[in-house]
């Protein structure tokens, strides 16, 4: 473990009732978080609050009681619901005053566009007493920085283009000066499949207690991401720490790591491996309804790797397979049938690999006594055919994704050998 001398704790506050109610998605907070991470700032909280003076004031006061740096996005416009500057002024006990430089800039901008500046626009030139104004050359509302003994509050416009410009040109350089231009955070993400979150936690439990570098987990449907993060005074030092931790992590769970690219889906990796092997795959799907084929096709783009993709019961199912399915219904699905149909599908299509997904489409008594049934996944390769059981059935989004990922895991394991 390693310690870094100077550091800042930060949090992000996004204002806007439209964000709070889910009418628009808050992309600002995620982008700001990435910039703070890269600058070596420790981000501990994110808050969304509606356009209400008292609530924004209370949130700012709470933030100042626990964080060094608070970045507020939104509410700096000219309308009555743009109350962020007033709330910050009240929370920091710094009354608003007219900034003559901001006022002149505002007047020049309106004149340049031949627009009339109304009375309510004047509030955009008001900033808390003693605050540092942040010029906004790409918009009308300047930002500002209020430094207090409790903490520093940075106010930025909510318009993403304006907010990003002010962050890059002014706020991040300001933060780096506060850190004496030291401090950087690096992270790596490893995507795993075939091992559960609890098992990863058990295998990496000693690393999970470290303060720096750190290990974190993010569970997804039938997958789990492992995130390692290091904070250091230089990129080289952070990378050295990550190299050592990555080697240790791979030593314990490397067989389950399918990608080290954040957000890369498993089907993209499988598609890449299929192309590298000049291989094709055929798919027979029942309760997944063609979803797996669609995911693979999307990853393949203009270079398809699917020889045949059909839904059980559909008109395009090969006759020899349709005869075996017959009138079995969901209750007749079995390990033996799934394995046999995958083998038959590979034979009749000439594909390198074949998957037969046979599962219950609705609520029924399953193999494990569950109310949602079960699914067998048959898998045929050039050398063998077998089947695995997924103790879930149904056609809901969660179940379909779970089954898809288990089928993709079979392919990935085979192609990664």
Dist. CA 117–CA 91, nearest whole Å: 29
Residue 4 is predicted with a pLDDT of 42
Confidence category of residue 110, pLDDT binned at 50, 70, 90: confident
Vertex 162 angle, CA 161 and 166, to 5°: 120
Residue 2 predicted with pLDDT over 50? no
Whether residue 162 contacts residue 141, with contact meaning beta carbons closer than 8 Å, is answered with yes
- For 12-64, the pLDDT digits (tens) are 999 999 999 999 999 999 999 989 988 889 999 999 999 999 999 999 999 99
Question: How does the average pLDDT of the chain come out, rounded?
Answer: 89
Residue 369 is predicted with a pLDDT of 35
Residue 106 is predicted with a pLDDT of 79
Domains of the chain, CATH where assigned: 9-178 (3.40.980.10), 184-259 (3.30.70.2860), 266-415 (3.90.950.20)
Residue 315 predicted with pLDDT over 80? yes
Query: Mean per-residue pLDDT for 354-381?
Result: 73
Query: Mean per-residue pLDDT for 377-406?
Result: 92
Residue 237 predicted with pLDDT over 70? yes
- Within 13 Å of residue 394, how many CA atoms lie on the same side as its CB? 16
Residue 5 predicted with pLDDT over 70? no
Burial (CB count within 10 angstroms: exposed 0-12, middle 13-18, buried 19+), residue 12: buried
Q: What are the helix (H) ranges across 99-196?
A: 100-112, 160-166, 172-178
Residue 10 predicted with pLDDT over 60? yes
Most confident of 112-126, 163-177, 324-338, 350-364: 163-177
Cβ-proximal residues to 22 (8 Å cutoff; 6+ apart), any chain: none
Long-range (24+ apart) CB contacts under 8 A made by 110-118 are: 110/140, 118/78
Question: How many CB atoms within 10 Å of residue 29?
Answer: 18
For the chain, the 3-state helix, strand and coil shares in percent, each to the nearest 5, are: 40, 25, 35
Query: Mean per-residue pLDDT for 121-149?
Result: 90
Dist. CA 189–CA 171, nearest whole Å: 27
Residue with tokens 């003693």: 130
What is the sign, positive or negative, of the torsion defined by CA atoms of 361, 363, 365, 368?
A: positive
């Amino acid at each position: 473990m390693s310690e870094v001398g100077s550091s800042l704790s930060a949090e992000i506050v996004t204002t806007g009732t439209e964000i709070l109610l889910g009418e628009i998605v808050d992309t600002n907070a995620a982008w700001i978080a990435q910039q703070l991470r890269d600058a070596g700032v420790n981000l501990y909280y994110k808050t969304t609050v509606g356009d209400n003076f008292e609530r924004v004031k209370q949130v700012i006061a709470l933030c100042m009681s626990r964080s060094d740096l608070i970045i507020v996005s939104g509410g700096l416009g000219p309308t009555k619901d743009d109350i962020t500057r007033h709330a910050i002024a009240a929370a920091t006990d710094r009354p608003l005053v007219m900034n003559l430089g901001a006022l002149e800039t505002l007047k020049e901008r309106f004149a340049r566009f031949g627009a009339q500046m109304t009375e309510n626009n004047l509030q955009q030139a008001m900033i808390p007493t003693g605050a540092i104004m942040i010029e906004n050359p790409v918009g009308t509302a300047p930002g500002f920085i209020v430094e207090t003994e409790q903490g520093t509050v940075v106010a930025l416009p909510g318009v993403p283009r304006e907010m990003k410009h002010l962050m890059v040109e002014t706020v991040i350089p300001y933060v780096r000066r506060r850190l004496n231009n030291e401090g950087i955070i690096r992270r790596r993400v490893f995507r795993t499949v075939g091992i559960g979150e609890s098992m990863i936690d058990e295998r990496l439990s000693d690393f999970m207690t470290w303060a720096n570098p750190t290990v974190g987990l993010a569970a997804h449907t039938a997958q789990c991401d492992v995130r390692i993060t290091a904070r250091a005074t230089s990129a080289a030092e952070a990378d050295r720490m990550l190299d050592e931790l990555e080697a240790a992590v791979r030593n314990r769970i490397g067989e389950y790591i399918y990608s080290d690219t954040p957000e890369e889906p498993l089907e993209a990796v499988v598609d890449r491996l299929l192309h590298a092997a000049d291989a094709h795959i055929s798919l027979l799907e029942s309760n997944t309804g063609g979803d797996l084929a669609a995911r693979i096709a999307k990853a393949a783009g203009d270079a398809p790797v699917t020889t045949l993709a059909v839904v059980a019961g559909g008109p395009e199912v090969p006759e020899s397979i349709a005869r075996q399915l017959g009138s079995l219904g969901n209750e007749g699905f079995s390990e033996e049938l799934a394995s046999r149909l995958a083998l038959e599908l590979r034979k009749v299509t000439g594909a390198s690999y074949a998957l037969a997904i046979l599962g219950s489409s609705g609520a029924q008594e399953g193999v494990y006594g569950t109310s949602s049934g079960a699914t067998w996944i048959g898998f045929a390769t050039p050398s063998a055919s077998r089947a695995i059981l997924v103790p879930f059935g149904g056609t809901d989004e969660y179940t379909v994704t779970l089954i898809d990922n288990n089928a993709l895991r079979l392919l990935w394991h085979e192609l990664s050998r």
